[in-house]
Amino acid sequence: MNNKRFWILGLLVSVIIAGVVSYYASSHPDGLEKAAEEVGFIGDAQDSAVADSPLADYGVSGVEDERLSVGLAGVLGVLVMVVVAGGGFMLLARKPKQRN
């Protein structure tokens, strides 16, 4: 597969997973939450300091439609990841120019 196609496909798959497929994710508690419920320490959990942020829990506050809300949050997350992780790794890998 040529270079360009590989990257476009990788990004496209990520956008579709975060933007579309995410709506169909299971909403059951995850393994840790379930364990905390079973054992009894789920009540110790506190809200995150950013629990009121506009994207908390993978939804855009103010967007009523559930599918749109989680999809938008996912796509925004992917964009931020592209900038932060993509940019970060490129900077990290940049070798200082050799001095003569």
Partner 1 sequence: MHIPDGFIDAPTSAIFGAASVAGVAVSLRGARKQLDERAAPLAGLVAVFIFAVQMINFPVGAGTSGHLMGGALAMVLVGPHAAVLAVTVVLIVQALMFADGGLSALGLNVFNLALVGVWSAYVLYALLRLILPKVRSSVVVGSFVAALVSVPVAAVGFVGQYAIGGSEVFGLGAVFSAMFGTHVLIGIGEAFITALTVSSVLSSRQDLVFGWKAPLRSPVEV
If residue 89 lies in a helix (H) or strand (E), which one and from where to where?
helix 87-93
Cα dihedral 15, 19, 23, 29 sign: positive
Nearer to partner 1 (CB atom), residue 48 or residue 65:
48
The reply to whether 61 sits near partner 1 by the rule CB under 8 A is no
With CB under 8 A as the contact rule, the residue among 4, 95, 97, 99 that binds partner 1 is 95
Comparing C-alpha atoms, which of 41, 37, 69, 75 is closest to residue 56? 69
The reply to whether 85 sits near partner 1 by the rule CB under 8 A is yes
The reply to whether 60 sits near partner 1 by the rule CB under 8 A is no
The reply to whether 89 sits near partner 1 by the rule CB under 8 A is yes
- Alpha-carbon span 92 to 86, nearest angstrom: 10
What's the closest the beta carbon of residue 99 comes to partner 1, in angstroms?
18
Q: Please tell me the total number of residues recorded for the chain in this structure.
A: 100
Take residue 62 and report the two structure tokens written for it.
Answer: 């103010």
Binding interface with partner 1 (CB under 8 A): 1, 6-7, 10-11, 13-15, 17-18, 21-22, 24-32, 34-36, 38-41, 44-51, 53, 55-58, 70, 73-74, 76-78, 80-82, 84-90, 92-95
